[in-house]
Amino acid sequence: MSDQILSSLSLEQKRQNLRHQRRSKVWQALGRFLVVSGLATGLAWGMTSPYWTITKAGQVEIEGTELMSPESIRAWLKLSYPLSLWELPTHQLREKLAAIPAIADVKIERQLLPPKVIVSIQERKPVARWRSHQQQGFLDASGTIIPKNYYGRTLPKTQLPSLEVLGYDRQYQQQWQKIYPLVDNLSIKVTAIDWRNPSNLVLKTELGQVYLGFYKDRLPEKLTALVQSRQLSSKIPLARILYIDLSNPDAPTVQLKPQPAPIVAKVTATGRD
């Protein structure tokens, strides 16, 4: 009899525990629902709240520009105001700016307090002035062509590269990445690289014009021979050098300008009356 009573009590206790567990799960589910609903409501309010809205260009802060103007960056973004800070397509805007030749890298961040957009720009540094097929612009060390209109203004003389490159095309980019460091570190001043005839790369240097031949052939050796040619200035007046031919660095040659013919003064004798 006592065993039956104990069994009944134990069964009832289990039923109560199960009912308690069910109620707990219901309350937990309700709590989670309320939390998620609250977050969703708060997010929806935040996205539509006027406080998180960009209403003017001044709330788009441009950092890191020296050669380009902040106004040109804002113009390329083409943002329409007012614009919710949360609806700003930062990934698409970054891709749009990164496609501009004058920009090496870009980061776009949202700031909540006060609400604004921060655009951080890393510009490409021009290392040479570029001219080809009536187009003008600049080159950076990687060989990227930067049309001059991307700067929107004339660069100050202090920021203009002294090196000029003629006839360069994007197909030479990999070779430029090898040539430029070599030329930049030469002890002889190079003011121009003429790529208009790929079979004969021409340098304009303090010694005069230098013919290097095919631009892919033994370039380091040719530039070493150029440095060794500095001693020419002690043997030949530089004004007499037409060009230095280093197309074969093992046998450099120097072409001199023709000597002007001596001027002979004709003296006419006059008699006396």
Question: Are 206 and 233 within one domain?
Answer: yes
Answer whether residue 200 is part of any domain: yes
Output Rg (C-alpha) for the chain, integer angstroms.
38
Which amino acid is located at 206 in the chain?
Answer: E
Q: What is the pTM of this model?
A: 0.73
Rounded to the nearest 10 degrees, the angle between the axes of helix 219-228 and helix 173-184 is 20
Task: Compute the distance between CA of residue 78 and CA of residue 92 in angstroms, rounded to an integer.
Answer: 12
Answer whether residue 6 is part of any domain: no
Which amino acid is located at 126 in the chain?
Answer: P
3-state secondary structure of 269: coil
- Buried/exposed code over 190-207 (b: 16+ C-beta within 10 A; e: otherwise): bebbbbeeeeebbbbbeb
pLDDT of 106 = 97
Q: Which residues contact 120 (CB under 8 A, 6 or more apart)?
A: 63, 64, 106, 107, 108, 109
Task: Compute the distance between CA of residue 207 and CA of residue 84 in angstroms, rounded to an integer.
Answer: 62
Domain of 27, in residue numbers: 16-48
Name the nearest CA neighbour of 134 among 150, 148, 152. Answer: 148
Question: Are 37 and 76 within one domain?
Answer: no
Number of structural domains (the chain) is: 3
Q: Which residues contact 205 (CB under 8 A, 6 or more apart)?
A: 188, 189, 190, 191, 226
Answer whether residue 38 is part of any domain: yes
Name the nearest CA neighbour of 184 among 201, 202, 161, 167. Answer: 161
Answer whether residue 247 is part of any domain: yes
- The H or E element containing residue 179 is helix 173-184
Mean of all residue pLDDT scores within the chain:
84
Rounded to the nearest 10 degrees, the angle between the axes of helix 90-98 and helix 70-77 is 120
Question: Are 36 and 56 within one domain?
Answer: no
Each residue's pLDDT tens digit, 57-100: 999 999 999 999 999 999 999 999 898 888 889 999 999 999 99
Question: Are 76 and 141 within one domain?
Answer: no
- Buried/exposed code over 242-265 (b: 16+ C-beta within 10 A; e: otherwise): ebbbbbebeebebeeeeeeeeeee
| Residue 53 reports pLDDT greater than 50 | yes
| Residue 33 reports pLDDT greater than 80 | no
Question: Are 30 and 142 within one domain?
Answer: no
Question: Are 140 and 190 within one domain?
Answer: yes
Answer whether residue 158 is part of any domain: yes
Answer whether residue 1 is part of any domain: no
Question: Are 97 and 146 within one domain?
Answer: no
Question: Are 77 and 131 within one domain?
Answer: no
Each residue's pLDDT tens digit, 123-173: 999 999 999 988 999 999 999 999 988 886 667 777 789 999 999 999 999
The last residue of one of the domains, among 123, 145, 174, is: 123
Each residue's pLDDT tens digit, 191-228: 999 999 999 999 999 999 999 999 889 999 999 999 99
Question: Are 44 and 93 within one domain?
Answer: no
Q: Is 152 left (phi over 0), alpha (psi -120 to 50) or beta?
A: left
